[in-house]
Structure 1
Amino acid sequence: MTAAQPGSSLPGSSLPGPELPGPIDPPTRLLMGPGPVSAYPSVLRAMSAPLVGQYDPFMTASMTETQELYRQVWGTANEATMLVDGTSRAGIEAAIVSLVRPGERVLVPVFGRFGLLLAEIAERAMAEVHTIEVPWGQVVPVSTIDEAIRRVRPTLLALVQGDTSTTMNQPLDEVGALCAQHGVLFYSDATASLGGNPFEADAWGLDAATAGLQKCLGGPSGSAPITLSERAVEVVRSRKRVEAGIREPDDPEASDYVRSNYFDLGMILDYWGPRRLNHHTEATSMLYAARECARVILAEGRDAVVERHRLAGDAMLAGVRGLGLEVFGDVAHKMHNVVAVEIPEGVPGDAARAAMLTDFGIEIGTSFGPLHGRVWRIGTMGYNAREDAVLTTLAALEAVLRRFGRAVPPGGGTEAAADVFRGA
């Protein structure tokens, strides 16, 4: 009898059983929501490359290349620039649990859902969390942050740059100097903004920043780029190290241990450092994807990619206004890569989104909390920050609005957007 080859039909019991599904075959979608978005084709090709062992010279060289590429993407010379395996939230959690000891104060300015997420993660890390909040659709004034730092005296300031729940882009350029003045570590979650909006880790005085691939970087969710300043590395290295089975339950210094093995940045630094000390098995295909995301951006030019996002975002903004729709929030502080559109009265928001998907294969997003059911969020990011994607989305949105009884100017969206592209 000839042995079956892997992936072929295997001999088995003659007893009846459930029919196996066929190979994965997802529908073709144009992902124009707040993320995830359609990946660059070369990123998908990179993910199909053959696997190698985690200490194969090709693998370790690829890790080193990826570190250097992301230093350029982040705008930093930080040696401690690497990936955390997991979604963007894995990077956030690794940064916070590794930088903050239980009982230390963390200040979180909140202007949307993802500021609330930073506060929650810091609470789970047993920090003393203080928040300052502004209404959704606004950003936090630097003067408000300054006053809160002086009052709270935190160990860490955790601040989202671009919050897709509101589409607002928080200015960071003056915050680092405030933190340095008061001896505060400065961390930013740039998940939704990196690659499509300016980000200068060194020039803005960031001590730590994390992101994800699935937004402006144009890849799949599952890898979290992170960069740490020398000061942040010193804090991470100062935390006590756990060796299995030797820590006593009543250890008086127990609060100094990082309360996670997987997200202990000290151990991850050792893995990505020159000694390559084993911590986990690097997610090889995601490493390939992350490397290609950065390579694509740098090949086009970092500033050119930001400008492409700005142009596509301006075109989408003009297009939805050309359809007679209102835009939510302070547009002067809107991210380049997503716009929040007020759902017109009388139009069922979820049904309209479903029609965009089923009839046109286009996904747009809803929102969270106080904005749920009030706005659609339409993204123009990564591979989809381009003219044909913007015009196709606006044409489909016009057709759907008409179907649900909304009178809109014929061609108003596509013409307004095309004018922005033609004027570029």
Structure 2
Amino acid sequence: MFYKPLQTPSRTIMTPGPVEVDPRVLQAMSTPILGQFDPAFTDIMNEVMEMLRSLFQTKNKWAFPIDGTSRSGNEAMLASIIEPGDKVLVPIFGRFGHLLVEICERYGAEVYTMETKWGTVFDQQDIINEMKKVQPKVVAIVHGETSTGCMQPLNELGKACHEQDILLIVDAVASIGGVNIPVDEWYIDGIIGGTQKCLSVPSGMSPITYNDRIEAIIQKRKKVEYGIATEEEFATKRTNMIRSNYFDLAMLQDYWGPRRLNHHTEATSMLYALREGLRLVLDEGLYERFGRHSYHEAALIEGIEAMGLKIFGDRTCKLPTVTCIEIPDGVDGELVRKLMLEQFGVEIASSFGPLHGKIWRIGTMGYSCRKENVLAVLYALEAALIRSGFEPIRGEGVQAALDYYEAPVFISF
């Protein structure tokens, strides 16, 4: 059988991830491969760690990517600190809170949950009060919930966790690089990011960082696999070893640290991509980048509302990188998405669980977060709605966004 050369169709990707990859990142991925213990390559590893500290706004010793998609970072972090019977509190306000529960349960945790209506978030004091009742070892929480387009405030939670000797683990996959998350200032013990959203890098790595409180737990569970362990390490028996080999942060520390102990074969081209993506973030400037995401989000909202459509969820807790739109009564949401993709090459997303078929989700993330993309998605959405039989306020969406772009705007943090 003959297979033709790979050629993908042109797309404007406006989903909550993956998003369009910056051309500089694609170019970096074509850089020749180096051996994983070549000094030139370990220098690159060290650079990535340094840049990740800047991204996460932390002085943590450990900041490195897990090879795997975003949930690999979640699993590595949770697998390395949770032992059977540990109490974990998970506040749930969307699909990915349920994912944290799933991972914790698989590693034997005694999971306690608190839930709120999708489209809202928690008052931090309510979480703090629940912590006092449950007295968990860990609070695991999502920061930016892409299934609902909501962002959970965290600025008070970390300090309260430290005061109660509780670890705070944060899933920031949808927000890191697009929203301000000062890890040290907010007393976050461990945080997980993703490459395929605001960093505009292909899916395949999950940057993480964690502090010395987590490192101390990991070190007490450390077991180096036979064949690379020293005699002393081999003689050390662990009844509480980390249950995953691949997601063992103790061994990954030795891989990313000066010892360079072999754990896995590094995803070299992905590391090149991440390095360039981080360079783009830091060259732009963190706060300038946060401002850009808020700026284009605001233009998109102006256009959506000018068409007569409604934004879903509590606006006071809206995630700046994802905008959720209520699907009007009588409109086939999947038909609209199909028309947008087939006729305009523009992709938006539906949602999950109780919101499936009720909202569309538009991502303004990373390289996809720019004026031409916002205008393209508004134009395509209006046209697709008309073709599907719904009458939006014609011609107003793109014009409202253009009016916003032409007006002087000041965004502060």
TM-score range relative to shorter protein: over 0.9
Q: For residues 102 and 415 of structure 1, what CA distance do their matches in structure 2 show?
A: 57
Q: 2:233 aligns to what?
A: none
Q: For residues 302 and 255 of structure 1, what CA distance do their matches in structure 2 show?
A: 43
Conserved in 2, the CA contact under 8 Å of 1:80 and 1:228? yes
SS of residue matched to 1:123: helix
SS of residue matched to 1:378: strand
- TM-score, length of structure 2 as denominator length: 0.95
Letter in 2 for 1:149: M
Is the counterpart of residue 241 in structure 1 residue 231 in structure 2?
no
Letter in 1 for 2:339: A
Write out per-residue CA displacement over residues 280-314 of structure 1, whole angstroms, 9 at most, x where no aligned residue: 11100110111111110000101101100001111
Conserved in 1, the CA contact under 8 Å of 2:224 and 2:251? no
Deviation at 1:316, TM superposition (A): 1.0
Q: For residues 286 and 222 of structure 2, what CA distance do their matches in structure 1 show?
A: 38
Aligned length: 400
Deviation at 1:243, TM superposition (A): 3.9
Is the counterpart of residue 421 in structure 1 residue 408 in structure 2?
no
Unaligned runs of 5+ residues in structure 2 are: 230-236
Conserved in 1, the CA contact under 8 Å of 2:221 and 2:238? no
Q: 1:52 aligns to what?
A: 34
Q: For residues 369 and 341 of structure 1, what CA distance do their matches in structure 2 show?
A: 16
Is the counterpart of residue 136 in structure 1 residue 124 in structure 2?
no
Percentage of matched positions with identical amino acids = 48
User: Which residue of 231, 240, 246 corresponds with 1:262?
Assistant: 246
SS of residue matched to 1:84: strand
User: Which residue of 381, 389, 392 corresponds with 1:405?
Assistant: 389
Unaligned runs of 5+ residues in structure 1 are: 1-18, 247-252
Conserved in 2, the CA contact under 8 Å of 1:311 and 1:420? no
Q: 1:209 aligns to what?
A: 191
Is the counterpart of residue 294 in structure 1 residue 278 in structure 2?
yes
Q: 2:288 aligns to what?
A: 304
User: Which residue of 50, 53, 61 corresponds with 1:71?
Assistant: 53
Write out per-residue CA displacement over residues 184-239 of structure 1, whole angstroms, 9 at most, x where no aligned residue: 01110000011111111100001100111111111110001000111111111111
Is the counterpart of residue 154 in structure 1 residue 130 in structure 2?
no
Write out per-residue CA displacement over residues 5-59 of structure 1, whole angstroms, 9 at most, x where no aligned residue: xxxxxxxxxxxxxx13122211111110111000111111111111111111221
Q: For residues 279 and 112 of structure 1, what CA distance do their matches in structure 2 show?
A: 34
Deviation at 1:108, TM superposition (A): 0.5
Letter in 1 for 2:312: F
Q: 2:360 aligns to what?
A: 376
Letter in 1 for 2:107: A
Letter in 2 for 1:327: I
SS of residue matched to 1:256: coil
Letter in 2 for 1:237: Q
Is the counterpart of residue 108 in structure 1 residue 84 in structure 2?
no
Deviation at 1:420, TM superposition (A): 2.2
SS of residue matched to 2:334: helix
User: Which residue of 153, 159, 162 corresponds with 1:177?
Assistant: 159
Deviation at 1:163, TM superposition (A): 0.5
Write out per-residue CA displacement over residues 347-380 of structure 1, whole angstroms, 9 at most, x where no aligned residue: 2111110111111001100000000000000111
User: Which residue of 305, 329, 344 corresponds with 1:345?
Assistant: 329
SS of residue matched to 2:25: helix
Letter in 1 for 2:370: R
Q: 1:186 aligns to what?
A: 168
Q: 1:9 aligns to what?
A: none
User: Which residue of 200, 205, 214 corresponds with 1:232?
Assistant: 214
Letter in 1 for 2:401: A
Deviation at 1:409, TM superposition (A): 2.1
SS of residue matched to 1:373: coil
Conserved in 1, the CA contact under 8 Å of 2:170 and 2:188? yes
Q: For residues 392 and 323 of structure 1, what CA distance do their matches in structure 2 show?
A: 14
Deviation at 1:405, TM superposition (A): 1.8
Q: 1:249 aligns to what?
A: none
Letter in 2 for 1:271: Y
Conserved in 1, the CA contact under 8 Å of 2:64 and 2:207? yes
Q: For residues 254 and 411 of structure 1, what CA distance do their matches in structure 2 show?
A: 67
Deviation at 1:254, TM superposition (A): 6.2
Structural RMSD (CA): 1.3
Letter in 1 for 2:18: P
Deviation at 1:242, TM superposition (A): 5.2
Q: Which has the larger radius of gyration?
A: 1
SS of residue matched to 1:399: helix
Q: 2:267 aligns to what?
A: 283
Conserved in 2, the CA contact under 8 Å of 1:102 and 1:255? no
Q: For residues 10 and 238 of structure 2, what CA distance do their matches in structure 1 show?
A: 51
Deviation at 1:406, TM superposition (A): 1.6
Conserved in 2, the CA contact under 8 Å of 1:118 and 1:158? yes
Deviation at 1:244, TM superposition (A): 3.9
